[in-house]
Structure 1
Amino acid sequence: MVGVPFDLVSLWRESKAPAIIGYCESTSTAISWFTFSSILIIMALTAERLVAICYPFSLKSWFTKKTVIYVIIAIWVLSFFPSVYIGLQFKQVATDFCGKIHLVELGYGSCDFVGWNFAYTFEVMLLLTFVLPIAFILYCYVRILKTLNLMTSTQTVHHPVANQTSDSSATTPTIKQNFLQIHQRQCGPAMSEKAQKVVIKMLVTISVVFFICYLPYHVERLIVWYSNESCEQSIICLLLYPITGLLQYISATLNPIIYNLMSYRFRTAFRLLLKRLFLPTRTKGGTTDHATIPLHL
């Protein structure tokens, strides 16, 4: 929703930016902001599953509805600052006959990265927005899988068995029951464990999609930054930009589809949300009664 209008303007004007003050800066900031927020939200979802499975009694109580709202707000605020840092380094520029890039007046150039004194901007962004998130997600998955395997292997079921004996000393005979406990290992995982594994499969799928779609994006930035003029003469290099941009859109498109296909609770909440927005029900008093959406989405 944010990136497509900017791309349409770029295609319509043949890559020339319109004569709007701060157009290049705001465009890059907005796209980077939503990209960084998506990455941090994937990390937050993985961290929540880690806490729910590995620390169900000590830390699970922290994840209240209010805490989740605060975490989402913090993610958007935190991702805004690196986005502004990247966005302010995009200006309207043009290339002269010697191949040198110069700042031009509004409406006569295209948006391009000009950079500041720091020469390793893309390397730092690669580390912060790709390498570290992937490392954190992999660490969480290893911990989660170990915990689930441990829960499955050590789970036992206690079956009470009654041993009936008669008491003949009393006038009226009574029957005493001595209960014994038989410990039997359960063959299959419990339903809660199956549900947890479904969630883990969903998060793993989302993380794999994120890895496949965003790795070419970072590689393309590094290639263009270090190859300079030679990249403009290579067909493969020129194709990298539209391909990596398309992969970003594919990642954003696939995420809600994956949620709907793999999560029953997400489908249920989504249907209730649509019903609440478009199909309000009328009560006897004439007021509108909307469908209630469960909080534990």
Structure 2
Amino acid sequence: MDLNVTEVDHSSVAQTAAVTVILSLASLLGIPGNILVIWIITFNMQKQKSPTVVLILNLAIADVLVLISLPLWIYSFVHGWPFGQVFCKLLTFIIHCNMYVSVFLITVMSAERFVAVTYPFTSQRWRKVTVVRVVVLCVWILALLFAIPVLMYKELDNDENGQPQCMYGTFSSETQEILCTMMQFIVAFVIPFSMMSVFYMCIGKKLKGMVFKRHNRTGMVIGMVVVVFFMCWMPYHAVNLVSVIALMTKTNKAISDMLYDIYDYGILVAGALVFLNSCANPVIYAFAARNIRNSFQVSAFGKLFDQMTYAESWKKSKDASTEKKSFTLEELNSLQNI
């Protein structure tokens, strides 16, 4: 009996240590990294910002809003949550907003790449600053709306040591828990990544048929952002699905208890990986910028974002047909590879 208690204690300590390390790493890398991205795009861009760069700016803003809360979460894992239920609901709401904002923005970025590569001239009719602002506003509004359910079921709960923790939800019924979890899984994962998969399959098919090929830096950066987002968020959604299956198999106590154990051990680490995603994007931009000058320099970030912006020469043309006739083959290929 004492041996089992010791094993549980050791497991809990190891779990807390792993979560603390992940959150500390995300905080140390993510906060200055995203602030640097915001500062460069806002004040150091040499050209008018492209739709992709505007979307990257909003993605960095969403990540900063989440990362600045990390010191509070790190403290709560060790000492419990002393900040009250209202603050617990508020911070959890912000984190869920970030989840929806991030996946919606990345989906829009993928759609923008698809249109730019597949229909490079037609896309200019809507690739304008006013249109991008409307799209970004819609993304934030939708994220706020989809995150509202967390305000209804998020409650403080005591852990095995009797300390209050802001980690779990208290649902009014099993049906509500299943519906909320499945809505989050479908809206924030299944639909967006299905759309991204279709977009990138079409982009790959289009690029294979091109005669002149150039390095597609923008597509590479967005592709890496998509992959990292998938890797960081997939464990979280998978663990939540385990809890849903556990609820649906409660008639078989052995299977249900086993699934609940998997959920209890996995949710903390999976949740910590979610925060790690918020610090990953600046690292991706840094590697992409390093390829420009073979060494890391802050100015290389600005150069990277400048390269993501269309050249002014063809943007000033009056209509797409005139543009199409006046470009050389190399320029047309460059346009399609942006």
Give the TM-score, by structure 2 length: 0.57
The aligned residue for residue 136 of structure 1 is 195
Are residues 237 and 294 of structure 1, via their aligned partners in 2, closer, same or farther at CA, if it must alter by over 3 Å?
closer
Say which SS state the counterpart of residue 168 (structure 2) adopts: strand
Q: Deviations over 1:35-86 (max 9, x none)?
A: 1111111111111111111111112231112322222222112101111222
Q: Does 2:184 match 1:125?
A: yes
Runs (5+) with no aligned partner, structure 1? 97-106, 153-188, 275-292
The aligned residue for residue 252 of structure 1 is 278
CA drift of 1:115 comes to 2.1
The aligned residue for residue 225 of structure 2 is 206
Q: Does 2:27 match 1:8?
A: no
Say which SS state the counterpart of residue 121 (structure 1) adopts: helix
Are residues 22 and 216 of structure 1, via their aligned partners in 2, closer, same or farther at CA, if it must alter by over 3 Å?
same
Higher helix share: 2
Contact 1:37 1:76 in 2 (8 A): yes
Contact 1:2 1:30 in 2 (8 A): no
Runs (5+) with no aligned partner, structure 2? 1-66, 248-255, 311-338
Q: Does 2:316 match 1:296?
A: no
Say which SS state the counterpart of residue 120 (structure 1) adopts: helix
Are residues 65 and 260 of structure 1, via their aligned partners in 2, closer, same or farther at CA, if it must alter by over 3 Å?
farther
1-side partners of 2:107 and 2:93: how far apart?
21
Q: Does 2:239 match 1:220?
A: yes
Q: Deviations over 1:238-277 (max 9, x none)?
A: 4412321232222222212112322578x99963888xxx
Higher strand share: 1
Amino acid of the structure 2 residue aligned with 1:5:
P
Amino acid of the structure 2 residue aligned with 1:213:
C
2-side partners of 1:2 and 1:131: how far apart?
28
2-side partners of 1:108 and 1:39: how far apart?
31
Q: Does 2:91 match 1:27?
A: yes
Amino acid of the structure 1 residue aligned with 2:222:
L
CA drift of 1:25 comes to 1.6
Amino acid of the structure 1 residue aligned with 2:70:
V
1-side partners of 2:87 and 2:258: how far apart?
25
1-side partners of 2:300 and 2:221: how far apart?
21
Amino acid of the structure 1 residue aligned with 2:227:
V
Contact 1:213 1:247 in 2 (8 A): yes
2-side partners of 1:116 and 1:77: how far apart?
26
Alignment of structure 1 residues 49-88 onto 2, 5 Å: 49-88=113-152
Contact 2:221 2:285 in 1 (8 A): yes
The aligned residue for residue 320 of structure 2 is none
Contact 2:85 2:155 in 1 (8 A): no
Amino acid of the structure 2 residue aligned with 1:87:
L
1-side partners of 2:280 and 2:170: how far apart?
33
Aligned with residue 112 of structure 1, among 168, 180, 201: 168
- Superposed CA RMSD in Å reads 3.5
Say which SS state the counterpart of residue 113 (structure 1) adopts: coil
Contact 1:51 1:60 in 2 (8 A): no
Amino acid of the structure 1 residue aligned with 2:273:
L
Are residues 233 and 138 of structure 1, via their aligned partners in 2, closer, same or farther at CA, if it must alter by over 3 Å?
closer
1-side partners of 2:166 and 2:116: how far apart?
48
Larger RCO: Structure 1 or Structure 2 (Cα < 8 Å, ≥ 6 residues apart)? 2
> Greater CA deviation, 45-54 or 244-253?
244-253
Are residues 222 and 271 of structure 1, via their aligned partners in 2, closer, same or farther at CA, if it must alter by over 3 Å?
same
Q: What is the number of equivalent residue pairs in this alignment?
A: 227
Q: Deviations over 1:95-131 (max 9, x none)?
A: 89xxxxxxxxxx9565521124533211121011001
Q: Does 2:168 match 1:149?
A: no
Aligned with residue 271 of structure 1, among 282, 287, 299: 299
Give the TM-score, by structure 1 length: 0.64
Amino acid of the structure 1 residue aligned with 2:257:
S
Are residues 150 and 120 of structure 1, via their aligned partners in 2, closer, same or farther at CA, if it must alter by over 3 Å?
same
